[in-house]
């Protein structure tokens, strides 16, 4: 449930931020970044390619924090959420879990 909530909040925040930015900026360069962020938000919302989308989010958000230091707080939070999702994975209620299944890593007992 926690991973689902984390994915929903991150995905919706990215989608809304990307769509709001697209309405205000006509230049092509920043608009491409906003489209990319909206697509990453959609991937996170669905739970599809979560490690890849989370890694891209972390890289782009931290890069954006260095370029625009006035808005760096939001970028650092979104980058941290992206890194956490990339490391934790999508969770049970996601497209990734339906397509690829659960991966369990078993540890052996130590024999003394």
Mean pLDDT value of segment 87-95? 86
In a domain, 85, yes or no: yes
In a domain, 16, yes or no: yes
Task: Identify the domain containing residue 28 by its residue range.
Answer: 2-100
Residue 103, both tokens: 């991966």
The DSSP-derived string for the chain is: -HHHHHHHHHHHHHHHHHHHHHHH---HHHHHHHHHHHHHHHHHHHTSSHHHHHHHHHHHHHHHHHH-GGGHHHHHHHHHHHHHHHHH---SSSHHHHHH-------PPPP-
pLDDT in tens, 48-85: 999 999 999 999 989 888 888 887 888 889 899 999 99
Sorting pLDDT into bands at 50, 70 and 90, what band is 104?
low
Half-sphere exposure of 10 (CA within 13 A, CB side): 34
In a domain, 111, yes or no: no
Residue 84, both tokens: 């956490």
In a domain, 110, yes or no: no
Q: Report the domain count for the chain.
A: 1
Question: Are 55 and 43 contacting, i.e. CB atoms less than 8 angstroms apart?
Answer: no
């Amino acid at each position: 449930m926690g991973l689902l909530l984390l994915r929903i909040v991150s995905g919706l925040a990215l989608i809304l931020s990307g769509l709001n930015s697209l309405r205000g900026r006509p230049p092509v360069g920043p608009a491409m970044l906003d489209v990319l962020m909206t697509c990453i938000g959609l991937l996170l919302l669905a739970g599809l390619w979560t490690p890849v989308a989370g890694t891209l989010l972390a890289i782009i958000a931290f890069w954006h924090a260095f370029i625009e230091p006035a808005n760096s707080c939001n970028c650092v939070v979104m980058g941290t959420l992206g890194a956490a999702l990339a490391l934790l994975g999508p969770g049970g209620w996601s497209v990734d879990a339906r397509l690829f299944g659960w991966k369990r890593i078993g540890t052996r007992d130590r024999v003394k």
